[in-house]
Structure 1
């Protein structure tokens, strides 16, 4: 078993929006270094000045360097079949994996982190940064914060970790990382192996290629692995897995789009093993109607045809909160606002806080002016906006559109794409039906985290014109 000890330098701190500008790989056989590789990489974008100050790699230095795809074959030959080792391994691995993913290849290596290993094998240090560990262990780093110098130092540190690993921490870490995955008997393992580690929607299909389950995930492969992990002793789990013959998936770029598309697919296909979201609950609305005396009234109810709807909500509680809060600010009679029932005057009139629309003391004209202001508040609540998030590649973004309070759908666009007006923006959208679950998703901070909300009058500064 060989170890590929990797260090990279990048254009920024996270893989979704940045690229590799230098890479070094040291092949270690568990005792010594047996092969070395290093190269500057043209990241095909400018390196920020602040980042250049850290590693010293400038745009000029990488201008004539090979692009990643030109070195990909060599890099893959060094990584495949070996254990991917790095100091804070998830950082380096995420960039390398993303670079291969952009080329359409799903890199899948076992990983070891020398930070975690050092904490267990060499306990007692105040800091486990590479610089501090090397200073404490007598390891000289040549060219600090350059890929080859840091990779060579990490290789020497790894040699010491192997030598001092009396409790077989490295072996145990590899076994722990290789969690049990019980691939369903009828599923071709190649389909599982090629699953992407990206956000999206996944589908389990039966023998007839019918969808039996739809799910969403930040990481498709990791989520599907959790379905197959551990014991298969449960009868229900056995029956479910026996029906899985194929896996399909749709990359969405981010979790919000995955949630929205999962909701659509469940309602479209009604998969056998999906229990959540299978109801046709139409949600709640605030309606407006006029009584025989000319007073306009409000009422909460289920969405239904033939009634003029002012605004929709996912549940009764949020509808009631909006109705009571807004109508109280406008001093609308609670009885005519629809949240107090009485045969005569409302309770508020009896205590002197209602102006008397419920008993005819407030004229229909004055009362209806307040209702008009309530309608304006509904329109403000329903304002047009878009949500912009990460796309399926580094140069792509996603867009979710809401117009007049109604979810229209979502789409993808390149950052370099030119859009001239709101209608042009709508042309980027694939239309999807709305439902109460969609509005719950759009109202959730956890679901929309990482997506930027932009009002209609501000969209050009975000999308471009």
Structure 2
């Protein structure tokens, strides 16, 4: 087996918008170096000042260097049929592969990360950076942050790791079924291996253990693995992978429960890498209050965060249309419902009995308003969605009361849903969001056989 031990210096941290300024490749047959190649590269873009100070490579140094296009045939010759080895292999591989693909080449070789390999051979070291590993094992490291110096040190590190690999981890890491080399640098393979093949919600944590991404899955292990099935060169993808250090998860009885919990957790945590929740959120509500003269008033207004609405609407037009229906059906006053905002003291509603100018008592008028509110509430459905849980011996349950999401949990398979109070006690209450409510209602329409009307 031949190894192409590689190091690159670049103009920035992600391949899509940055270039290579230097590359070194050492071909190793497991015993010794049998071929090598190293050169500065003209990236055809300015090298940032902080990168120049880190690597010592300046714009003047690369001005007369070959472009990547000129060295691409030689690199393909070196990499063909070899194992691409680097310290944090996904970084170097993403740059080399991106540049080669832009020129029409197809780099298709196995990868080996010496960071991951070192963790298996020498677990529990304080640090696995190249500099610290070289100091710990007394490996000479010359010209730090230059391609040839770092690649030479990686050669000696690989030799040391292979010598101490008594359990043949290398064979496993390079096996056809192993996807370990595609994982983020700081993420342990064991975190993936312990994930179940059941529905649930997963959380990606950063170096400070802060949750930076929340997702849902029908099969947790399969979905999480899919995040790392490619190594796209975009800034967002590269930054995302660098910042993942740990995975945690919650199992859910069904995919629907996972969808609901994902939305709730994103709203609670607002993780860095989650996009805004898409979905049509209700923006208006119908509110009822008592004015200074004791009359109950109905009004359509923008949704208030801390004021419960009788009913929610997606637009003001929808809300006003519904309010006009109630005014007509229950002979309410257009002025007290803010439909008629004219200065004319006479109400424009045909059924108004004079509440707007005091000829109808507040008691009589309020009785009709209450009937209108009660009818509207009765039209909002109360139901539960009951399904067999994937991971326990109970039934999953999601409860809607009066058109609002109450909560979810698990009940015994023989549980009687007619016992509404006991049902609530069996479930965990969650915050109520429009998007969650829409998910549940849509599912109830698509799966009517799983709906228990209450």
User: TM-score, normalised on structure 2?
Assistant: 0.50
1:335 aligns with 2:335: yes
Shift of 1:193: 4.1
In the TM superposition, what are the counterparts of 1:351-370 in structure 2 within 5 Å?
357-358=355-356, 364=362, 366-370=364-368
**CA-atom RMSD in angstroms:** 4.0
Alignment match, 1:431: 429
CA distance in 1, matches of 2:440, 2:189: 36
Alignment match, 2:218: 218
Shift of 1:250: 1.6
2:267 match: secondary structure: helix
Alignment match, 2:240: 240
CA distance in 2, matches of 1:362, 1:435: 39
Unaligned runs of 5+ in 2: 1-176
CA distance in 1, matches of 2:275, 2:357: 49
Alignment match, 1:422: 420
Shift of 1:239: 0.0
Could you list the per-position Cα deviations for residues 296-327 of structure 1 after superposition, in whole angstroms to 9, with x for gaps in the alignment? 2101333365x6x4524274456445434444
Q: Conserved in 1, the CA contact under 8 Å of 2:410 and 2:427?
A: yes
Q: Conserved in 2, the CA contact under 8 Å of 1:181 and 1:230?
A: no
Q: Conserved in 2, the CA contact under 8 Å of 1:212 and 1:272?
A: yes
Shift of 1:204: 0.9
Q: Conserved in 1, the CA contact under 8 Å of 2:231 and 2:237?
A: no
1:444 match: secondary structure: helix
CA 1:405–1:446: 2 relative to 1, 3 Å: closer
Could you list the per-position Cα deviations for residues 15-57 of structure 1 after superposition, in whole angstroms to 9, with x for gaps in the alignment? xxxxxxxxxxxxxxxxxxxxxxxxxxxxxxxxxxxxxxxxxxx
Alignment match, 1:166: none
CA distance in 2, matches of 1:223, 1:447: 27
Shift of 1:380: 0.7
Q: Conserved in 1, the CA contact under 8 Å of 2:288 and 2:310?
A: no
Alignment match, 1:260: 260
In the TM superposition, what are the counterparts of 1:134-173 in structure 2 within 5 Å?
none
Alignment match, 2:304: 303
2:439 match: secondary structure: helix
Q: Conserved in 2, the CA contact under 8 Å of 1:181 and 1:229?
A: no
CA 1:410–1:446: 2 relative to 1, 3 Å: closer
Could you list the per-position Cα deviations for residues 333-377 of structure 1 after superposition, in whole angstroms to 9, with x for gaps in the alignment? 33322344322268854xx57666545676655543331221211
CA distance in 2, matches of 1:233, 1:369: 66
Could you list the per-position Cα deviations for residues 406-465 of structure 1 after superposition, in whole angstroms to 9, with x for gaps in the alignment? 533211123145788333222211222333433333333479747733233xxxxxxxxx
CA 1:424–1:216: 2 relative to 1, 3 Å: same
In the TM superposition, what are the counterparts of 1:255-334 in structure 2 within 5 Å?
255-277=255-277, 284-301=284-301, 302-303=303-304, 309=308, 311-313=310-312, 315-317=314-316, 319-320=319-320, 322-334=322-334
CA distance in 2, matches of 1:197, 1:447: 27
2:310 match: secondary structure: strand
Q: Conserved in 1, the CA contact under 8 Å of 2:407 and 2:429?
A: yes
Alignment match, 1:251: 251
CA 1:231–1:355: 2 relative to 1, 3 Å: farther
CA distance in 2, matches of 1:214, 1:401: 23
CA 1:198–1:233: 2 relative to 1, 3 Å: same
Alignment match, 1:186: 186
Alignment match, 1:388: 386
1:372 aligns with 2:373: no
CA 1:319–1:186: 2 relative to 1, 3 Å: farther
How many residues are matched? Answer: 275
Q: Which has the larger radius of gyration?
A: 2
Q: Conserved in 2, the CA contact under 8 Å of 1:389 and 1:451?
A: no
Shift of 1:222: 4.1
